[in-house]
Amino acid sequence: MFKRIGGIFWALLFLAVPVLGVATFAISPFYDHWLPKDVSTHGAAIDSLFYFILVLTGVVFVVTEFLLFWFMWKYDRNNQEGHATYIQGSHTLEVVWTIIPAATLVFLAIYQMNAWADVKMRRPSMAPTVEVIARQFEWRLRYPGRDGTLGTADDLFVVNDLHLPVDEDVLIQLKSMDVLHSFFLPNLRIKQDAVPGMKIPVWFKAREVGQFDIVCAELCGWGHYKMKGRVTFESRPEFESWLERKYAEQQATQPPAEADVAAE
């Protein structure tokens, strides 16, 4: 009797896994424990791909767990007469359960090609808006100066405070000064590794003003937890005004040029 109850308990426990798992996913959005707000033009395609894969794998997960429950319930050792019988395997069955996952992966590879191309291949034809340099444990930002060219004497340097214009294409030149980092903008569905020795282009367009997180999604050392910045999207006039303020602050902290010293 007690063994029978024990068998039922374990069967119901395995049944609770898919039930509670699906319930958790169903109620999470109502408690604000879900994907962060999307403010990018390409985010809808990324989210659509995520949900498609989630549903596909979720159905397989639920079916598998229910089959496990059914076999534990139906073939409970304490409720059977006689000895168990065994099979040595089925070549046909092995081929089938190899082909189905392989075909599914090929389908997913084709299904996501357009979303991948938008984010990783169709680079806008423009000069970099800003250079983002990952460094333990901060984001160093370099804007082109008034000459509009990166790498010149009038470049503007900022740390952890990225400002960008809204409703405009943005091209970031991503680099790393030391180890592998990962430039992650959750609200723009952007995640790109920063690899030492490489210049990696990252592009997107924000469709809403506001301030959002920049985080490192790669364990990069003891201070990884504090490698956090912010990105602010604002109108073009507000962005230009912010640049001018930062130029003035930077110039105020620089030593006078040699020509100015000679004139004095």
Output the pLDDT for position 29.
81
For the stretch 16-38, pLDDT in tens is 877 888 888 888 888 878 889 99
pLDDT at 8 over 60: yes
> For position 73, what pLDDT does the model report?
77
Superfamily of domain 130-254: Cupredoxins -  blue copper proteins (2.60.40.420)
90 has a pLDDT exceeding 60: yes
Q: In the predicted model, is pLDDT for residue 98 greater than 50?
A: yes
- Give pLDDT tens digits for 219-262: 999 999 999 999 999 999 999 999 999 999 998 887 765 434 33
pTM (whole model) above 0.85:
no
Q: What is the pLDDT of residue 47?
A: 92
Residue 88 reports pLDDT greater than 90: no
pLDDT in tens, 45-86: 999 999 999 889 888 888 888 888 888 777 776 666 667 677
For 96, the token pair is: 């089938």
Specify the pLDDT at position 153: 87
Q: What are phi and psi of 29, to 5 degrees?
A: -60, -30
Q: How many CB atoms lie within 10 A of CB 202?
A: 21
Looking at the predicted structure, is the pLDDT value of residue 2 above 50? no
CB contact at 8 A, 224 and 216: yes
| pLDDT score of 7 | 60
Positions of CATH 2.60.40.420 in the chain? 130-254
Distance from C-alpha of 6 to C-alpha of 108, rounded to nearest angstrom: 42
- Mean of the per-residue pLDDT values of the chain: 87
Q: Is the pLDDT of residue 188 over 70?
A: yes
How confident is the model at residue 79, as a pLDDT? 65
Note every long-range contact of 157-161, with CB atoms under 8 Å and residues 24 or more positions apart, other chains counting.
157/250, 158/246, 159/229, 160/214, 160/228, 160/229, 160/230, 161/229, 161/230, 161/232
Read off the pLDDT of each residue in 118-146 and give the average, rounded to a whole number. Answer: 92
Q: Quick one: pLDDT band at residue 3, thresholds 50, 70, 90?
A: low
Q: Please check the confidence at residue 158 and state whether its pLDDT lies above 60.
A: yes
Contacting residues for 184 by C-beta, under 8 A, at least 6 apart: 190, 191, 214, 215, 216, 217
